[in-house]
Amino acid sequence: MAAYRFPLGDAKAQVQFNINNVFDRAYFTGSHQHVTDWNQPGASRNALLTFRVDY
């Protein structure tokens, strides 16, 4: 996570950048106890850019 805060007129603003699964590794987020051949794969690498204004 990297974030930068700055004034925007009378408000406060923030830009934030997140990266999930940076190394793009395969993993499983869940499975089902009654079905032996079912696994749910996790998300691949992704990024999120957020702009927030508090007024």
Sign of CA dihedral 36, 37, 38, 42: positive
pLDDT of residue 40: 81
pLDDT of residue 39: 79
pLDDT of residue 47: 97
Domain ranges for the chain = 1-22+45-55
pLDDT of residue 24: 94
Measured CA to CA, the distance from residue 55 to residue 8 in angstroms comes to 9
pLDDT of residue 31: 75
pLDDT tens string 12-51 = 999 999 999 999 999 888 777 777 677 788 899 999 999 9
